[in-house]
Structure 1
């Protein structure tokens, strides 16, 4: 896997840990990109007396911050209070190093801002996994509340799913462990082809191989089940035993929310979203395209606006047999000023929400890549590139590969699907539920109805500060049969049976060969 690099925040505006340097007046006026992004107490105009008074509510924050705290100026104040409290606690606890906002505006593209939260990785940060130096939590968008919420949530997800100690693991082979405890059979998880296993013994699992295990649950029954630890922690290192890989350790399927059901639901939707994309991509199938004119007013207006700036935007329907609406959004910068291709994904019970999530994620990728353009040139495959065999092609290289305008020919097939009116598509899934618990139960039942290997398992982080002081839940969801996301080419799940079995159910022919070009998913 490629080694993550520390992100350059030299062009970002540092945010006060507690006040978050909340640019709420600016957002309240209509969104990013219209005027000055921040407003400190001393910068407020003389006629803003009430705002000056309001800003004094945060004067105590200056006492515990090394930077100037900023005024919360308008309707966002009450909504942001819980998040300010969380940021303060994370700072006091020593988990957060910095909070940044990137509010640079490119005149030839829509206005999005980005918030990044970086962890404090020092001697007090204890883990037996890799120490990750890059950002843990980030979000982009045009809505301040949503951005702050998402960045904190992602930070907590990723931070707590890096902290583990091998002394808390059970170490045993599946054969021996299953004699005294219920355990997930790794045979269901092995997604590498016979050829991949023959080429590398690190992929060749047998029931006698010893693995590290942690306790999880089967979500539908609550039954305790031992799960391979490498599926849970995205910075996983086996360390003391020569452990084989069952699949790539990454953040796929992690979720965080202020209730357990919401966290599990977020992780499960994410697994479904990535499974769907990879089935279309690896089989070289063109997903249906959503007619932009059929989208809701806000999303439609945004897309039409960016198209006037020489961008092309595609919303592709990747929904498969499980049912919940799943989409990927692809943004093409035809001016070639910025990265050529940026992609995002979204899965949700409500198709409009799913499509919007995909669209916003794609713009987040675009802005991230464009901000690095000068320091990170586009990536090109080596002349001797071997499909699914280049260990140097990781997430960062993949994104910069697809920033290259030469990728036009490689994405063309994916954009040839027939048009669909999103209002007329019959998604076999309810658009809404009375409670999050109802939604989770329905989705789990739907997934498990597909048969053996579709059992839904979950791991819950148990930490007093996280669960009780913050009131937050972080989980990792595992469904053996779903095609797992891979970011390093050598981990492509070419032996995943679902890549083949789902096609006839949807009216597609089974493909003889897989698409060998690296996928563009971020």
Structure 2
């Protein structure tokens, strides 16, 4: 469904319930010791304390819409209320983080997460228990779409945690083979080089080491297959589970939709554009660039005008690979010539314009949340040893690293690719069709032609409230694709596509592996 979007001014046409003066002042008065705040002020303070104690943002900056009859669709209201009744959220509404005055205006929506306890989970990274609420957001230039994205991403992240309620099997490869199970071989998933295995004993595999497994299925066909839990759940704690590392356990490839096919397609799109980005990045190859002025699309043109108005530069890079699905990353460049900082977003779709718009929306949201988080910078340690555990750059570190103006000169090579008119690039894409069913069929056939390691697998989360909402959440796995990593020591340096794909596309690696941490958050 197309949505007409206003990119000019950010003035919601709804009354805002905002924690601001005078109520914010009342809160401060009531918080202060020895003050004589009046009854009304204290009551206001209690109300705001109750509401905003749930939020993970500054209580003085959030706002929400009190009259949900206007701001939410019937389906959105139903989903929020049911999530609340199921104790999956603490408050049945959506909070909006306001934009800064000097950035393009978007709606940035979040839900009110429950507080987690480590005892709820089989194996979970302890830090995630405290920070879960920071890992979901819905961003769009239309409030309804931002709300839908926030609800969908929250549900996706919530159900794909390693809850104890999932049916886990603990067994070694040898045990599973002896009992006749069909399972995805860990060595197919693992993409660590021999040097990495020498440095880190936890990367080494053998058939007698136990793993935790969950039941997944192949797509299409739905044949049952056991998948390693660490390839399915995000925040999975391999060390606590005392099993070898196969790679990083993150949300890449996870998606939620109202149909299983839609969720699988969304997961595949994410895997594909990240695979493409990493192939170019780790080989130090500058991707082809799209001349933004040649894109004949009203929505993209409006976004680009907004960026120009706020004096941002934008680069649109084509990271489409042998898979053939149009894939892009966008670089948002903020600042003057001497103080530039860079942020990155990505997208893939059989409709190239949609992929570019998705990448633009993502990079703007990343920029916004970087600023909201305090606009921090991160410097590489000296000396810096690439891909080492001791110097490993983490999730938030990499955003802060490339937000440092000192790093921008080290990114210029990535922006030196040949510039093309969008129409000329579009002619070469293997698929350009606004039909999700056709796109999914195309990908199934493409992966089948590339070999067995490109088989598509998925795990579908099973929660009672998902059935009631008729919402499908899956984690999609394609073993051959280069997986996104957010910690440098977990880089998949032995992934065969890192060598094969540049040759197929006619590129030559300038330096492999690129020693710099990638900027993808």
Superposed pair shares fold, TM > 0.5: yes
Change (3 A) 1:126 1:422: same
Residues 8-23 of structure 1 aligned to structure 2 (within 5 Å): none
**1:351 and 1:240 mapped to 2: Cα distance?**
42
User: Equivalent residue of 2:459, what SS?
Assistant: strand
Query: Counterpart of 1:469?
Result: 468
Query: Counterpart of 2:276?
Result: 276
User: Equivalent residue of 1:277, what SS?
Assistant: helix
Q: Which moved more, 1:390-399 or 1:447-456?
A: 390-399
1:340 and 1:403 in contact (8 A); partners too = yes
2:174 and 2:207 in contact (8 A); partners too = yes
Query: Counterpart of 1:101?
Result: 96
**1:350 and 1:416 mapped to 2: Cα distance?**
25
Q: Which runs of 5+ in 1 are unaligned?
A: 1-26, 43-61
User: Equivalent residue of 1:360, what SS?
Assistant: helix
**Structure with more of its chain in helix, by fraction:** 2
1:157 and 1:256 in contact (8 A); partners too = yes
| 1:348 has 2:349 as partner | yes
**1:124 and 1:212 mapped to 2: Cα distance?**
18
TM-score calculated relative to the size of structure 1: 0.83
Query: Counterpart of 1:208?
Result: 208
State the Cα distance separating 1:153 from its structure 2 match.
Answer: 0.8
Q: Which moved more, 1:472-481 or 1:86-95?
A: 86-95
Change (3 A) 1:167 1:462: closer
**2:136 and 2:400 mapped to 1: Cα distance?**
21
State the Cα distance separating 1:142 from its structure 2 match.
Answer: 1.3
Query: Counterpart of 2:29?
Result: none
| 1:328 has 2:323 as partner | no
TM-score calculated relative to the size of structure 2: 0.83
Structure 1 residues 275-301: Cα deviation after superposition (integer angstroms, max 9, x where no partner): 000000010111111111121132123
Aligned length: 467
Change (3 A) 1:87 1:452: same
Query: Counterpart of 1:487?
Result: 486
**1:330 and 1:119 mapped to 2: Cα distance?**
31
- RMSD (Å), alpha carbons: 2.8
Query: Counterpart of 2:120?
Result: 126
Structure 1 residues 84-112: Cα deviation after superposition (integer angstroms, max 9, x where no partner): 111111122211135421113323x2112
Structure 1 residues 29-77: Cα deviation after superposition (integer angstroms, max 9, x where no partner): 94574446750699xxxxxxxxxxxxxxxxxxx9xx9699623686x66
**1:73 and 1:32 mapped to 2: Cα distance?**
25
User: Equivalent residue of 1:481, what SS?
Assistant: coil
1:255 and 1:476 in contact (8 A); partners too = yes
State the Cα distance separating 1:122 from its structure 2 match.
Answer: 4.4
2:10 and 2:106 in contact (8 A); partners too = no
State the Cα distance separating 1:213 from its structure 2 match.
Answer: 0.9
User: Equivalent residue of 1:162, what SS?
Assistant: coil
**2:95 and 2:338 mapped to 1: Cα distance?**
25
2:343 and 2:366 in contact (8 A); partners too = yes
**2:255 and 2:316 mapped to 1: Cα distance?**
24
Query: Counterpart of 1:116?
Result: 110
State the Cα distance separating 1:113 from its structure 2 match.
Answer: 2.6
Query: Counterpart of 2:15?
Result: 39
**2:117 and 2:280 mapped to 1: Cα distance?**
44
State the Cα distance separating 1:377 from its structure 2 match.
Answer: 2.6
Change (3 A) 1:32 1:469: farther
Query: Counterpart of 1:305?
Result: 306
**2:82 and 2:220 mapped to 1: Cα distance?**
34
Query: Counterpart of 1:504?
Result: 503
Change (3 A) 1:72 1:228: closer
Change (3 A) 1:337 1:514: closer
Change (3 A) 1:41 1:199: closer
1:32 and 1:112 in contact (8 A); partners too = no
Change (3 A) 1:494 1:159: same
State the Cα distance separating 1:166 from its structure 2 match.
Answer: 8.2
Residues 19-168 of structure 1 aligned to structure 2 (within 5 Å): 30=6, 33-35=9-11, 38-39=14-15, 70-71=66-67, 80-97=73-90, 99-107=94-102, 109-122=103-116, 126-128=120-122, 129-130=124-125, 131-133=129-131, 134-165=133-164, 168=167
State the Cα distance separating 1:116 from its structure 2 match.
Answer: 1.5
Q: Which moved more, 1:237-246 or 1:144-153?
A: 237-246
Query: Counterpart of 1:12?
Result: none
State the Cα distance separating 1:431 from its structure 2 match.
Answer: 2.5
Change (3 A) 1:277 1:270: same
Q: Which moved more, 1:220-229 or 1:298-307?
A: 298-307
**1:504 and 1:28 mapped to 2: Cα distance?**
42
State the Cα distance separating 1:124 from its structure 2 match.
Answer: 10
Change (3 A) 1:286 1:512: closer
Query: Counterpart of 1:22?
Result: none
2:238 and 2:245 in contact (8 A); partners too = no
Change (3 A) 1:450 1:253: same
